[in-house]
């Protein structure tokens, strides 16, 4: 069979393929345009108005504390429900956490969660955007003093709300969950509860985008001010890799090809396709040096998850009581958030969630032929389980390249390409008529 090839883009730099020949899906472009810096600012101002959102703070007070904040987020989701044709539904999903390291008494904890049900009843995929609603003071056990948490993680929570507002008016074949978790600062309790539940109930989670601290454009010591770059942290060796998995990773040089890292590459490609003046930087680490976040419980449960975080953190404004010392202002206040930057980072999430949830599912049984030694490589696959497929993209990159370098379109379900598997990595994506790609699948070995 002679494969029908359409070479979309060829490029030689280390960056993602040139996007000039791949059109923006007009529906996604329209939603991206609706992301509003003003809306995001108003959400953050309201979140800060609850005084503190410490997970240990009052759950009964109607004006102050985590209870009031949770109810407000739920109310926002319920407002969006009206425009969703009955597809969006919201709850506060609760559990009780026993006393431990950062919790001194049994604690009722709730994740505020809105689910936009997919329109294809056979498509069970779920894509999740997460931020944490809780905030903290310098003393993480202080549950009464002001803890504005405008950026950490009012920014992530605002992004979750804004994506829900815009996306709930549209329909997607796959399901999307918008969640503001709590208990992050006390020890990732809300996300752990949700990830454990997802594992137990066998949720088909395609991707988790954890947004934590995505709204400030400057670092305190470096004085770098820049609102055109954002970081995606992704794990290398999967947290759940078995000894056998690790042997395969070592044998094939797959240290940079975990599912979460493929998701990070995908986020960069799609984000830069739809959001102008935003460069996505891949950080080859699970999280920042010796630190953690809400994507980690999902990784531990075997799901694909990344952390999205601003480029330059300002530690004077993070986990700090509001005060002035030696002329320096401390505290996580709304005035330190760059709402235009937050708009772009929210749009990055929206574009990716939409592209993922509109795309067909990934091709199945992707395999590479290894029976004969050859300088060409032969790949084969089966159609995806869900969605209408226009064709497939073959992604190619050199072993030392951080990003996929070539993207070849084919209508077939097999291909032979003049690139040696010794020198390149390959993967395959499904793509539909509107150009929405699935996540890529690396080939398994076919020896027969
Ligand atoms: Zn945080």
pLDDT in tens, 354-411: 999 999 999 999 999 999 899 999 999 999 999 999 999 999 999 999 999 999 999 9
Q: How far apart are the CA of 133 and the centre of ligand 1, in A?
A: 9
Closest CA relative to residue 378, chosen from 429, 413, 423, 430 = 413
For residue 18, pLDDT beyond 60:
no
Q: How far apart are the CA of 172 and the centre of ligand 1, in A?
A: 29
pLDDT of residue 448: 63
pLDDT in tens, 125-143: 999 999 999 999 999 999 9
Q: How far apart are the CA of 214 and the centre of ligand 1, in A?
A: 10
User: Where is 217: in which H helix or E strand?
Assistant: none
Give every CB contact of residue 341 below 8 A, 6+ residues apart in sequence. 215, 216, 217, 227, 310
Provide the percentage of residues in the chain whose pLDDT is more than 70.
95
DSSP 8-state code for residue 5: -
| DSSP characters over 23-79 | PPPHHHHHHHHH--HHHHHHHHHHHHHTSB--TTS-SS-SSSSHHHHHHHHHHHHHH
d(C-alpha 269, C-alpha 16), whole Å: 6
pLDDT in tens, 171-180: 999 999 999 9
User: Where is 360: in which H helix or E strand?
Assistant: none
pLDDT of residue 216: 96
- φ, ψ of residue 161 in degrees (nearest 5): -65, -45
Give every CB contact of residue 199 below 8 A, 6+ residues apart in sequence. 301, 302, 303
User: 295-298: long-range contacts at Cβ-Cβ below 8 A with a sequence spacing of 24 or more?
Assistant: 295/130, 295/191, 295/208, 295/210, 295/233, 295/260, 296/188, 296/191, 296/239, 297/188, 297/191, 297/192, 297/194, 297/195, 297/196, 298/191, 298/195, 298/198, 298/205, 298/208, 298/210
Q: How far apart are the CA of 296 and the centre of ligand 1, in A?
A: 13
Q: How far apart are the CA of 134 and the centre of ligand 1, in A?
A: 8
Q: How far apart are the CA of 213 and the centre of ligand 1, in A?
A: 6
For residue 209, pLDDT beyond 60:
yes
Q: How far apart are the CA of 54 and the centre of ligand 1, in A?
A: 12
Q: Tell me which residue has tokens 């600062």.
A: 185
Q: How far apart are the CA of 138 and the centre of ligand 1, in A?
A: 13
The dihedral through the CA atoms of 31, 303, 111, 51 has a sign that is negative
pLDDT of residue 372: 86
pLDDT of residue 22: 81
Q: How far apart are the CA of 131 and the centre of ligand 1, in A?
A: 8
Which of the two residues, 18 and 179, has the higher pLDDT score? Answer: 179
Q: How far apart are the CA of 252 and the centre of ligand 1, in A?
A: 36
| DSSP characters over 159-191 | HHHHHHHHHTTS--SSEEEEEEE--HHHHSHHH
Average pLDDT, the chain: 94
User: Where is 231: in which H helix or E strand?
Assistant: strand 229-233
The tokens of 28 are what? 């996604």
Q: Please answer whether residues 263 and 359 qualify as being in contact, where contact means their C-beta atoms are separated by less than 8 angstroms.
A: no
Q: How far apart are the CA of 308 and the centre of ligand 1, in A?
A: 11
Q: How far apart are the CA of 93 and the centre of ligand 1, in A?
A: 20
Q: How far apart are the CA of 125 and the centre of ligand 1, in A?
A: 27
Q: How far apart are the CA of 159 and the centre of ligand 1, in A?
A: 14
Q: How far apart are the CA of 212 and the centre of ligand 1, in A?
A: 5
Confidence of residue 13 (pLDDT cuts 50, 70, 90): very low
How many residues are given for the chain? 448
Q: How far apart are the CA of 135 and the centre of ligand 1, in A?
A: 8
Q: How far apart are the CA of 153 and the centre of ligand 1, in A?
A: 5
pLDDT of residue 446: 80
| Helices 154-167 and 26-34, axial angle in degrees (round to 10) | 130
Give every CB contact of residue 156 below 8 A, 6+ residues apart in sequence. 130, 131, 132, 210, 211, 212, 213, 214
Whole-angstrom CA distances from 200 to 75, 111, 221, 332, 356 are 29, 17, 44, 36, 24
Q: How far apart are the CA of 129 and the centre of ligand 1, in A?
A: 14
Q: How far apart are the CA of 309 and the centre of ligand 1, in A?
A: 9
Q: How far apart are the CA of 356 and the centre of ligand 1, in A?
A: 25
User: What's the rounded mean pLDDT across residues 266-292?
Assistant: 97
Q: How far apart are the CA of 151 and the centre of ligand 1, in A?
A: 8
pLDDT of residue 346: 99
The torsion defined by the Cα of 95, 117, 205 and 211, in degrees rounded to 10, comes to -70
Q: Which residues surround ligand 1, an ion (CB under 5 A)?
A: 152-153, 212
Least confident of 18-32, 207-221, 254-268: 18-32
SS3 readout for 283-322: ECCCCCCCCCCCCHHHHHCCCCEEEEEECCCCHHHCCCCC
Q: How far apart are the CA of 209 and the centre of ligand 1, in A?
A: 14
Q: How far apart are the CA of 60 and the centre of ligand 1, in A?
A: 24
Q: How far apart are the CA of 410 and the centre of ligand 1, in A?
A: 42
| Helices 154-167 and 339-358, axial angle in degrees (round to 10) | 50
């Amino acid at each position: 069979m002679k494969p029908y090839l359409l070479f979309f883009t060829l490029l030689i730099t280390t960056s993602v393929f040139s996007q000039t020949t791949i059109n923006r899906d007009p529906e996604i472009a329209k939603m991206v345009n609706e992301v509003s810096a003003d809306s995001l600012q108003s959400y953050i101002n309201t979140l800060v108005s609850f005084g503190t959102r410490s997970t240990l703070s009052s759950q009964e007070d109607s004006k102050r504390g985590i209870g009031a904040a949770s109810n407000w987020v739920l109310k926002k989701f319920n407002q969006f429900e009206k425009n969703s044709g009955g597809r969006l539904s919201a709850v506060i999903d609760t559990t009780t956490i026993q006393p431990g390291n950062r919790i001194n008494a049994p604690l009722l904890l709730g994740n505020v969660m809105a689910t936009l049900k997919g329109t294809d009843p056979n498509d069970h995929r779920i894509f999740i955007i997460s931020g944490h609603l809780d905030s903290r003071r310098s003393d993480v056990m202080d549950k009464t003093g002001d803890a504005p948490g405008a950026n950490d993680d009012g920014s992530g929570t605002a992004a979750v709300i804004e994506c829900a507002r815009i996306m709930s008016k549209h329909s997607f074949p796959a399901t999307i969950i918008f969640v503001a978790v709590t208990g992050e600062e006390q020890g990732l309790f809300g996300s752990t509860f949700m990830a454990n539940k997802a594992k137990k109930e066998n949720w088909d989670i395609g991707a988790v985008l954890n947004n934590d601290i995505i709204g400030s454009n400057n670092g305190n010591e470096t004085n770098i001010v820049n609102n055109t770059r954002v970081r995606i942290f992704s794990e290398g060796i999967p947290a759940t890799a078995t000894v056998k998995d690790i042997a395969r990773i070592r044998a094939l040089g797959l240290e940079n090809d975990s599912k979460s890292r493929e998701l990070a590459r995908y986020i960069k490609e799609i984000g830069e396709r739809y959001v102008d003046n935003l460069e996505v930087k891949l950080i080859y680490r699970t999280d920042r040096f010796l630190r953690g976040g809400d994507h980690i419980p999902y990784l531990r449960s075997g799901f694909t998850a990344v952390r999205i975080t601003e480029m330059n953190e300002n530690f004077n404004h993070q986990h700090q009581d509001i005060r002035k010392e030696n002329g320096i202002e401390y505290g996580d206040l709304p005035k330190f958030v760059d709402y235009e930057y937050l708009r772009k980072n929210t749009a990055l999430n929206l574009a990716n969630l939409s592209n993922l949830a509109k795309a067909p599912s990934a091709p199945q049984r992707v395999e590479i032929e290894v029976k004969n030694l050859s300088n060409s490589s032969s790949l084969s696959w089966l159609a995806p389980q869900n969605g209408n497929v226009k064709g497939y993209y073959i992604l190619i990159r050199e072993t030392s390249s951080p990003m996929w370098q070539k993207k070849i379109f084919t209508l077939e379900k097999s291909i032979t390409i003049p690139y040696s598997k010794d020198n390149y990595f390959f993967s395959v994506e499904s793509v539909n008529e509107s150009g929405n790609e699935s996540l890529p699948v690396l080939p398994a070995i076919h020896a027969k």
